[in-house]
């Protein structure tokens, strides 16, 4: 039986495919991260039954609890603000940490990955709109951070992630997505990030603006509300 979550997923997959084809991108280069924060594990099971295996979580305790209930084929991307003292759990339960934005955090993650004998994929979170209320390294400081984080042998920097400032329309987020891509290409031309054809990742776009993000080169879109509905309060 198809559930609401199943129907929503079907709709978003169709929309990803349509958008990709419209801008001459292979649809399989765009991965959907289903953001399940604040929803019970049963919502993840529901999505999993409809073929979704990649989820995004923001809160480390909640993510750990869910991780323990999930099967091994489910992957979690950590997409919330991460404190260094939670780095150990995050390193253990995540297949990717999308929100590395400072050296201290990278150092802690690398140390725990050495202990766990794990290679961890990470993204550098960039505060592309220089929004004082948002985490992320400033665009002008990104090259320096990437250069230092590259030294950590157990962390693999796959690309960049951003949360643009809140705007009135999806179209207004376009310049922020363009800037993130420009920055990523510049760093990849300096061999600081993977080349585009070698899987450079750009995590950008949420429920309201993921089609704009795909048009501007997103390879990971993080969609919550459009799959699971309105989030329950904390």
Ligand X SMILES: *Cc1c(COP(=O)(O)O)cnc(C)c1O
Residue ranges binding ligand X (CB under 6 A): 35, 37, 58, 79, 163, 206-207, 222-226
Position closest to ligand X via CB: 224
CB of 60 to ligand X, least distance (A): 13
Q: CB-wise, 147 or 225, nearer to ligand X?
A: 225
First to last CA, the chain: 30
CB of 234 to ligand X, least distance (A): 12
Evaluate whether 170 touches 208 at the Cβ level (below 8 Å). yes
Q: CB-wise, 66 or 222, nearer to ligand X?
A: 222
CB of 205 to ligand X, least distance (A): 8
CB of 151 to ligand X, least distance (A): 26
CA distance 199 to 216: 16
Place of tokens 């300096």: 190
Q: CB-wise, 113 or 163, nearer to ligand X?
A: 163
Q: CB-wise, 82 or 106, nearer to ligand X?
A: 82
**DSSP H helical segments within the chain, as ranges?**
4-22, 41-49, 60-69, 87-93, 103-116, 139-149, 174-189, 210-215, 225-228
Residues forming beta bridges with residue 32, ordered by sequence position: 221
CB of 125 to ligand X, least distance (A): 9
Q: Please give the backbone phi and psi of residue 50, each rounded to the nearest 5 degrees, phi first.
A: -100, 25
CA distance 140 to 143: 7
Neighbours of 202 (CB within 10 A): 27
Q: CB-wise, 98 or 192, nearer to ligand X?
A: 98
């Amino acid at each position: 039986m198809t559930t609401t979550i199943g129907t929503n997923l079907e709709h978003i997959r169709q929309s990803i495919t349509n958008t990709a084809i419209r801008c001459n991108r292979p649809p399989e280069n765009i991965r959907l991260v289903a953001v399940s924060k604040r929803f019970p594990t049963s919502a993840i099971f529901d999505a999993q039954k409809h073929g979704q295996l990649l989820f995004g979580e923001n809160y480390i305790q909640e993510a750990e609890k869910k991780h323990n209930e999930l099967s091994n084929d489910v992957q979690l991307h950590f997409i919330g603000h991460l404190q260094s003292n939670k780095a150990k759990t995050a390193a253990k339960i995540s297949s990717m940490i999308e929100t590395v934005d400072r050296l201290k955090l990278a150092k802690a993650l690398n140390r725990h990955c050495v202990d766990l004998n794990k290679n961890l994929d990470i993204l550098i979170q960039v505060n592309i709109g220089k929004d004082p209320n948002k985490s992320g390294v400033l665009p002008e400081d990104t090259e320096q951070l990437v250069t230092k984080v590259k030294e950590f042998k157990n962390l693999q920097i796959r690309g960049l992630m951003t949360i643009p400032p809140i705007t009135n329309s999806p179209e207004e987020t376009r310049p922020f997505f363009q800037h993130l891509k420009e920055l990523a290409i510049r760093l990849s031309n300096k061999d600081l990030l993977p080349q585009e054809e070698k899987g450079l990742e750009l995590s950008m776009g949420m429920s309201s603006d993921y089609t704009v993000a795909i048009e501007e080169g997103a390879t990971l879109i993080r969609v919550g509300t459009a799959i699971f509905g309105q989030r329950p309060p904390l």
